[in-house]
Structure formats: structure tokens, C-alpha cells
Amino acid sequence: MSLHVLPAGTDVAEMAFFDTDDLPMPTTVDREVIEALEAAQRLISLPTGSDGSYLLHLYVDETIPADIQRYCATSDAKAGVFVAVRGHVAFGGLESAHAAFESNPNVRSDATIPAGRYDYRAFRTDFPEAVVRAAMKVERTAAERWISRAPSFALLTAAGLAIAMLAWPSPLAALLVMLAGVVLAIWLWRSPLASELRTRREAAQLDFPNVVLTLQSTPPGPRAAVASTMPG
């Protein structure tokens, strides 16, 4: 039993979970290739409706935790059979489902699971904004709360002063004030404490998947659907 947390993204408004063994070679993935992979039970298409970054929680022979399950939408859930030929799988934009794909964690994340045949269920999630916002409040001390606001405050203050100083005979002074504010904001943003807060927020974001997928092992079936004679 295992959980895989897989971030990825798409430029074609469609994600997919797929077996990466013996993928077709073309770098432009057309609908014929996708349909062939789906027919072979080696790809699960996950339309998103828009480009962007997405996060998958993959549960292999494991139930979805209650605190995630409650936010899984059932109205458009998908179910079926998925085959992992040798256990190498990936979650990524549909455009990454080919053998010539060059590693790019912003587009595709790969994982290894036990090879075999699985029953799958896929859900999109709908987390309340208030729940996500509360989880993103990772500041624990007054200093952490201050540093999280300080870069923006420095920029706004410098911009306000610069605008006020534009009425002076020399606009150079206003420019220097603005540049000083930018330098200060960058210095604050790069501070160890600010970096620690960003790390915590990134970790907290991993608790809110856009897609949840379960794979439940099933007895071996006919292997004809696993043939690698894909178009291209």
C-alpha cells in the first residue's frame, strides 16, 4: 500500500495518468495515439478545462483518507481498468505521453508501482477556499508574521514615497527611493526565515490534490490489451 504525490502541468487543458513503458515515439501526441493507449487500458485521460499546474494523489491498494475523501466530487468520477506493464507510470499533461519526452517536473512526474492490472477510480476535488486558506497560514510567531508581510510593505512604502517625490524638481530622487524599496524587498524575501515559510507553504499545498486516483490490484487477466503496437 502506498501514496504517491505527483505534481505536473499542461498546456493543452488535459492531464493524464499513464503507463510509460513502450510509449509511442511521436513528439506530437494526436487523438489516435491517446485513443489507442486508452483502449489498451494504459492511459486515463483527465480533462481539466484549462492550462496550468495540477497535483495528483495516487493511492495504490489503499483507501482514500476521510479528510480527502470528503472533498472528492462523485458527479463526474471515472472508473475502469488500468494496466501497468512493468510498473513505470506517470502523471502529466497529455502532451507528455510519448517516449521522446524530455524530463520536466513542471509538466510530468513519474513513479513506480507494482506491475499488474488494477481497477481504478479517479476524482476531481473541490476544497473550500477557507480550508485551503487556513492551511496556508503557516506563520507561528510574531517574527514569522512580520517577515511574511514585510516585502510587500517595503515595496508599497517605497512606491508611495516615490510617487510623492515626483512633485520634486528632480525625478531622480523618486527613482532612487523606488529602487531602494525593491532592493529591500528582495533582501527580505530571500531571508532564511522567509525561505522557511515558503517551504512550509509548499509542503502544505501538497495536502490539496486537484485529482485523486485509486488503484486496486485485480487478478491477472488477458494480456492482449497490453500489446505495445501503438501508432507512430
Would you state the pLDDT for residue 112? 96
pTM (global) more than 0.85: no
The answer on pLDDT for 227 being more than 70 is no
The answer on pLDDT for 162 being more than 80 is no
Nearest to 96 by CA among 23, 40, 4, 42: 23
Yes or no: say if 108 and 71 are a contact pair by the CB < 8 Å rule.
no
18 compared with 147, residue with greater pLDDT: 18
Q: What is the pLDDT of residues 66-80, one digit of tens each?
A: 999 999 999 999 999
What is the rounded average pLDDT of the residues 2-26? Answer: 92
pLDDT band at 201 (very low <50, low <70, confident <90, very high): confident
Would you state the pLDDT for residue 168? 65
Sign of the CA dihedral 88, 93, 99, 104? negative
Q: CA-CA distance, 55 to 206, in Å (whole number)?
A: 7
Yes or no: say if 194 and 188 are a contact pair by the CB < 8 Å rule.
yes
32 compared with 46, residue with greater pLDDT: 46
Provide the 8-state DSSP code for 43. Answer: E
- Identify the three-state secondary structure at position 5: strand
Would you state the pLDDT for residue 232? 36
103 compared with 30, residue with greater pLDDT: 103
Mean model confidence pLDDT for the chain: 86
